[in-house]
Chains A and B, each alone.
Chain A
Amino acid sequence: EPEVTQTPSHQVTQMGQEVILRCVPISNHLYFYWYRQILGQKVEFLVSFYNNEISEKSEIFDDQFSVERPDGSNFTLKIRSTKLEDSAMYFCASSEQGPTNEKLFFGSGTQLSVL
């Protein structure tokens, strides 16, 4: 069964450093998403992406965040200057069509620890 894959599974970084989280969505899916989950809390929407541009973004997704689809298979989330509060599990997801009335398929996540 096709799945969303994320790398790395764990990322440790120093505060102020840049990190790039990588995702390979399901191949025939057209919409891509990033969510995050701070330990013990709910899953929070960050951004959705379609046709090489951001469709929606939340208030969490500020200027420190960016997304990119550098090639036909990868979808990345960059945090330019990490803060302690960026420590969370980051989930990539994809859907075949848009988010409206479509289920999302999630990867297993990247645990980001900012020290």
Chain B
Amino acid sequence: GENVGLHLPTLSVQEGDNSIINCAYSNSASDYFIWYKQESGKGPQFIIDIRSNMDKRQGQRVTVLLNKTVKHLSLQIAATQPGDSAVYFCAEDNNNDMRFGAGTRLTVKP
């Protein structure tokens, strides 16, 4: 069935390096995607979104890239900081409900 998933369950980076978190989706009809950050003991927090009519969107230190040809979404975090350590979820708009992927845990080493 249609689902959203992530390539890597964990990612460890050095403080100051750039991070790239990937997500594969299979519902070609999805037209809206969001990246959420979840810190320990907290609810998901919106980071950035992108609509299917765009390939790239930039925020503060974060960039989301969408490749509809291969149904791939990525989140790039520039100059990763210890506060970026969290689980990152991609989510897609799936027939009026938001479906989440499995999540990638990002660990930032000092």
Contacts and interface: CB of A to CB of B under 8 A. Distances in A.
Contacts of B25: none
Contacts, number: 62
B84 to A, nearest CB: 18
A103 to B, nearest CB: 5
Interface string B90-105: 0101011111111100
B99 to A, nearest CB: 6
B59 interface: no
B97 A91 contact: no
B1 to A, nearest CB: 11
B43 A56 contact: no
Interface string B76-96: 000000000000010101011
B41 A56 contact: no
Interface residues of B, number: 25
Interface stretch (A14-22, A42-50, A69-77): A42-50
A100 B103 contact: no
A98 B89 contact: no
Which 8 A-B residue pairings sit nearest by Cβ, starting from the closest? A106-B43, A43-B100, A101-B32, A42-B102, A103-B46, A56-B97, A106-B44, A45-B97
8 contacts: A33-B97, A41-B102, A43-B100, A100-B32, A101-B51, A103-B49, A104-B44, A106-B43
